[in-house]
Homo-oligomer: A and B are copies of this chain.
Amino acid sequence: MPQPHEIIFKTLADPTRRAIFERLCRDGDQTVAALTARAGVSQPAVSKHLGVLKQAGLVRDRHEGRNTHYSAELGALAPLIDWTNQMAGFWQSRFDNLEDLLKRMDQ
């Protein structure tokens, strides 16, 4: 399996798809029809996006009669947060090393 943040970046890179995810975060549970109404693209396009989001673990679906409700899986953002922290960590440790070096040169 690829690194988890890989798929997350790719999935959220598309504006339409990210907008759908944002809407689910803001407003919670939504049917495909409700999402389509505001997406600015056709229903099949929305379904495809939801499929990609689901594949990435970013959303869950729940069937209720002939309606399908989708909701955001917020925990799935963790790898993104981890990656960002890791980058910041690299930065910080290089800074620390520089500090150490200067300290050693100073003494």
When C-beta atoms are compared, the residue in chain B nearest to A91 turns out to be B74
The answer for the CA separation of A13 and B84 in the assembled complex, in Å, is 14
Chain B residues lying within 8 Å of A22, measured Cβ to Cβ, are: 87, 90
Chain B residues lying within 8 Å of A37, measured Cβ to Cβ, are: none
In the complex, the answer to whether B87 meets A77 with C-beta atoms within 8 Å is: yes
Name A84's contact: one of B15, B80, B91 (CB within 8 Å): B80
In the complex, the answer to whether A15 meets B25 with C-beta atoms within 8 Å is: no
The answer for the CA separation of A32 and B102 in the assembled complex, in Å, is 27
Which residues of chain A in 79-107 are interfacial with respect to chain B, using CB atoms and an 8 Å cutoff?
Answer: 80-81, 84, 87-88, 90-91, 94
Chain B residues lying within 8 Å of A21, measured Cβ to Cβ, are: 87
Name A74's contact: one of B6, B18, B88 (CB within 8 Å): B88
Contact with B along A1-31 (1 / 0, CB 8 A): 0000010011011010010011001111000
Q: With contacts A27-B94, A72-B87 known, what are 5 further pairs, Cβ within 8 A?
A: A9-B12, A25-B91, A72-B91, A77-B84, A80-B84
